[in-house]
């Protein structure tokens, strides 16, 4: 374990480097997951595992799940998490090292990279008071082939995230048609006419594991979620909005701002976020005690 | 220099690894160029440099061009290329190492990775006899933000290239509207009605340096190239086609096959490839003697 408390395993070996010939570097040829660890457990592991397996299948990468799970166990050992109950493990799976050229033929030794670090939630006030969220000028491209999976081709998110500094907790991205699809690092839900709405992800975006958890559990809270294309205007007119991911959980949106056009449009919510609070309680009782 | 004749420099230091925290790995947050070296020179360097600079500008990466050029000089020293006159240098520029999260704020120490290796052109028969080329089922997504630059988000090319093994020299990719945009690792030109046509790259594709060279020099050979959307049918009806990149130069297309639909469509050309040969001569006399 390094001096700052971080541990990195590459194919089970503690190291801080990977080969320059890794296709994760050359082409973004791989996938990742960011796991929140609580008291030595990964409450959403099954969701992460499903997405990772489905992504590997779509990219034709042979995930060695038994080795990955053994390495996670190693990082989750009591000694490893004794210092702090809150940790993050970022898992990167690449297709492995290869010779020159795009062809993945004969490249069948994937690289597993696990970063374990202590974790303090940024913007801790957002959980109760709500988050300030902006609309990004950067658009998501249209790519049904890669939509949904959490691959390493993330330049769109990098460029979108460079639009602001710390004045907002998150930015939402539209696709080329103007539909709002995804946050740069989170998913979002809209409450409208008492309905729970989530964005359609068939053309772009990442199928967030917390989004999946919420979709699967919504009925317990009296919602039949609708997944469809969402116009920007529908967000500004919403009764309530919240963003979510597997790391921070659920944050109500208190302010949504679009200053990408000639006029600044914004909506503030101060209703007490009743729907977001219900889902926060669900997450707190089943996954992450706050 | 390693035993197999390859040399890798990372920020000027011989090594075979990079930090696991490099954003090139995490997000494909960077760019690359593949330079053909001939007798210790990089004939298309100005074209590569321009594309790299423009890409870095679009991604907000501070390219240290003076350091990069010094490192290229080091690899091009007489001692380094004495063994073989044909070498390739692949240059990767990433935004550098960063902390967790997409924000590039404060990440201002880009990583320069230079791989120098001996080089034998694959499919050496294609130069004279022409290449067999297929139409890929994999489509290029639409992304004006990233179109043209040679960034590290290359999953589309990886997936397209996995469609075939060695029976074709290249595959051409269509966008979501069906327009043919780009090869997986090359650009293409179509000769039709005596006109030279190249694909529009404003929504996807890579602005190939050999493509740029040809566009700039076409008038010397009596062509005013047209850059526009190209339908698949136009390729099958063409008088001639050729593909090109900075490594293999120009290859006539002898066979174009589309077997992605219910019927197999194909065109064979056996005209002697007069236009491709003219451009090959131009390249041979100004850049790469064959």
pLDDT in tens, A169-193: 999 999 999 999 999 999 999 999 9
One domain, residues A133 and A275: yes
Whether B210 maps to a domain, the answer reads yes
Single out the residue of A29, A21, A158 nearest to residue A99, CA to CA. A21
Query: What is the pLDDT averaged over residues A224-244?
Result: 97
Whether A290 maps to a domain, the answer reads no
- State whether A28 and B28 contact (CB < 8 Å): yes
Q: Which residues of A touch B184 (CB under 8 A)?
A: 102
Domain count for chain B: 2
Supply the Cα-derived Rg of chain A in whole angstroms. 19
**pLDDT over 90 (residue B148):** yes
Residue with more model confidence, A287 or A242: A242
Q: Which residues pair with A151 in a beta bridge?
A: A31
Query: Which parts of chain B are beta strand (E)?
Result: 7-10, 13-14, 17-19, 30-38, 86-94, 111-118, 131-135, 170-174, 180-183, 187-192, 195-199, 226-228, 240-245, 249-258, 265-268
- State whether A158 and B24 contact (CB < 8 Å): no
Whether B2 maps to a domain, the answer reads no
Alpha-carbon gap: A220 to the closest alpha carbon of chain B (Å): 33
One domain, residues A138 and A77: no
Q: Which residues of B touch A105 (CB under 8 A)?
A: 162, 165
C-alpha dihedral over A148, A154, A156, A158, to 10 degrees?
130
**pLDDT over 50 (residue A1):** no
pLDDT band at B2 (very low <50, low <70, confident <90, very high): very low
One domain, residues A53 and A194: no
Burial of B236 (0-12, 13-18, 19+ CB in 10 A): middle
CATH code assigned at A229: 3.20.10.10
Q: Which residues pair with A198 in a beta bridge?
A: A189, A227
**A58, closest residue in chain B (CA to CA):** B159
B136/B161 Cα distance (integer angstroms): 8
**pLDDT over 80 (residue B96):** yes
pLDDT digits (tens, 9 = 90+) for B175-210: 999 999 999 999 999 999 999 999 999 999 999 999
**B114, closest residue in chain A (CA to CA):** A20
- State whether A138 and B154 contact (CB < 8 Å): no
Predicted structure pTM score: 0.95
Q: Which residues of B touch A184 (CB under 8 A)?
A: 102
- State whether B165 and A105 contact (CB < 8 Å): yes
Please identify, among A61, A95, A118, the residue that sits at the C-terminal boundary of a domain: A118
Whether A2 maps to a domain, the answer reads no
Of B8, B16, B28, the CB nearest to A155: B28
Tokens 């493990």 sit on residue: A89
One domain, residues A79 and A223: no
pLDDT confidence of residue B82 = 56
Supply the Cα-derived Rg of chain B in whole angstroms. 19
Q: To the nearest whole percent, how much of chain B has pLDDT over 90?
A: 85
**pLDDT over 70 (residue B4):** no
Please identify, among B93, B118, B143, the residue that sits at the C-terminal boundary of a domain: B118
Whether A107 maps to a domain, the answer reads yes
Per residue, what are the HEC states of chain A?
Answer: CCCCCCEEEECCEECCEEECCEHHHHHCCEEEEEEEEECCECCCHHHHHHHHHHHHHHHCCCCCHHHHHHHHHHHCCHHHHCCCCEEEEEEEEECCECCCCCCCCCCCCCEEEEEEEECCCCCCCHHHHCEEEEECCCCECECCCCCECCECCCHHHHHHHCCCCCCCCEEEEEECCCCEEEECCCEEEEEECCEEEEECCCCCCECCHHHHHHHHHHHHHCCCCEEECCCHHHHHCCCEEEEEECCCEEEEEEEEEECCCCCCEEEECCCCCHHHHHHHHHHHHHCCCC
pLDDT confidence of residue B83 = 58
One domain, residues B44 and B74: yes
- State whether B156 and A145 contact (CB < 8 Å): yes
pLDDT band at B3 (very low <50, low <70, confident <90, very high): very low
Q: Are the CB atoms for A89 and A110 separated by under 8 Å?
A: no
- State whether A28 and B139 contact (CB < 8 Å): no
Q: Which residues of B touch A113 (CB under 8 A)?
A: 20, 25
**pLDDT over 80 (residue A4):** no
Q: Which residues of B touch A14 (CB under 8 A)?
A: none
One domain, residues A14 and A44: yes
pLDDT digits (tens, 9 = 90+) for A78-98: 665 555 667 899 999 999 998
Average pLDDT of chain B, as a whole number:
93
pLDDT confidence of residue A130 = 97
pLDDT digits (tens, 9 = 90+) for B30-88: 999 999 998 888 999 999 999 999 999 999 999 999 999 999 999 987 665 555 667 89
Displacement of CA B186 from its chain's centroid (Å): 5
pLDDT confidence of residue A3 = 38
One domain, residues B86 and B11: yes
Residue pairs between chains A and B whose CB atoms are closer than 8 Å:
176
Which one of B90, B102, B160 makes the best mutation probe of the A interface by having the most chain A beta carbons within 10 Å? B102
A191/A207 Cα distance (integer angstroms): 19
One domain, residues A114 and A145: no
Distance separating the N- and C-terminal Cα atoms of chain B: 28
Pairing of the two strands B180-183 and B170-174: antiparallel
Displacement of CA A217 from its chain's centroid (Å): 18
Q: Which residues pair with A118 in a beta bridge?
A: A87
Single out the residue of A121, A85, A115 nearest to residue A1, CA to CA. A115
pLDDT confidence of residue B79 = 63
Distance separating the N- and C-terminal Cα atoms of chain A: 28
Q: To the nearest whole percent, how much of chain A has pLDDT over 70?
A: 95
pLDDT confidence of residue A123 = 87
Whether A252 maps to a domain, the answer reads yes
pLDDT band at A149 (very low <50, low <70, confident <90, very high): very high
One domain, residues B144 and B265: yes
Please identify, among A99, A118, A137, the residue that sits at the C-terminal boundary of a domain: A118
CB neighbours of A8 closer than 8 A, spacing ≥ 6? Answer: A2, A14, A15, A16, A113, A114, A115, A116, B20
Token code pair at residue A80: 């490893």
Of B20, B141, B158, the CB nearest to A27: B158
Query: What is the pLDDT averaged over residues B7-15?
Result: 96
- State whether B28 and A103 contact (CB < 8 Å): no
Query: What is the pLDDT averaged over residues B81-107?
Result: 87
Query: What is the pLDDT averaged over residues A134-151?
Result: 95
Q: Are the CB atoms for A155 and B30 separated by under 8 Å?
A: no
Query: What is the pLDDT averaged over residues A259-277?
Result: 94
- State whether B102 and A185 contact (CB < 8 Å): yes
Query: What is the pLDDT averaged over residues A119-145?
Result: 92
Whether A1 maps to a domain, the answer reads no
pLDDT digits (tens, 9 = 90+) for B107-118: 999 999 999 998
One domain, residues A30 and A151: no
pLDDT confidence of residue B99 = 85
Of B101, B103, B161, the CB nearest to A102: B161
pLDDT band at B5 (very low <50, low <70, confident <90, very high): low
One domain, residues A82 and A203: no
One domain, residues A107 and A134: no
Average pLDDT of chain A, as a whole number:
93
- State whether A154 and B158 contact (CB < 8 Å): no
Of A20, A88, A157, the CB nearest to B115: A20
CATH code assigned at A35: 3.30.470.10
- State whether B20 and A19 contact (CB < 8 Å): no
**A92, closest residue in chain B (CA to CA):** B26
B209/B36 Cα distance (integer angstroms): 11
pLDDT confidence of residue A77 = 77
- State whether B156 and A143 contact (CB < 8 Å): yes
Of A90, A142, A153, the CB nearest to B153: A153
Query: What is the pLDDT averaged over residues A146-172?
Result: 96
Q: Domain containing A238: what range?
A: 126-285
């Amino acid at each position: 374990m390094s001096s700052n408390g971080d541990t990195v395993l590459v194919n089970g070996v503690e190291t801080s480097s990977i080969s320059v010939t890794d296709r994760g570097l050359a082409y973004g040829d791989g996938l990742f997951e960011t796991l929140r660890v609580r008291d030595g457990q990964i409450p959403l592991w099954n969701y992460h595992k499903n997405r990772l397996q489905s992504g590997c299948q779509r990219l034709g990468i042979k995930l060695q799940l038994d080795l990955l799970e053994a390495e996670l166990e190693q990082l989750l050992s009591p000694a490893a998490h004794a210092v702090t109950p809150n940790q993050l493990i970022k898992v990167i799976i690449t297709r492995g090292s290869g010779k020159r050229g795009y062809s993945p033929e004969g490249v069948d030794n994937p690289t597993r990279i696990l970063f374990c670090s202590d974790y303090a939630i940024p913007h801790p006030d957002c959980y109760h008071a709500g988050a300030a969220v902006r609309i990004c000028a950067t658009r998501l491209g249209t790519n049904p082939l890669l939509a949904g999976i959490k691959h390493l081709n993330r330049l769109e998110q990098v460029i979108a995230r460079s639009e602001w500094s710390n004045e907002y907790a998150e930015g939402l991205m539209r696709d080329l048609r103007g539909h709002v699809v995804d946050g740069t690092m989170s998913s979002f839900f809209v409450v409208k006419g008492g309905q729970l709405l989530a964005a359609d992800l068939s053309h772009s975006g990442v199928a967030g594991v917390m989004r999946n958890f919420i979709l699967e559990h919504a009925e317990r809270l009296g919602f039949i979620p609708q997944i469809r294309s969402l116009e920007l205007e529908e967000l500004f007119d919403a009764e309530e909005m919240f963003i979510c991911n597997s790391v921070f959980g659920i944050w109500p949106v208190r302010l949504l701002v679009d200053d990408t056009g000639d006029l600044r449009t914004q909506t503030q919510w101060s209703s007490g976020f009743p729907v977001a609070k219900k889902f926060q309680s669900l997450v707190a009782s089943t996954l992450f005690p706050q």
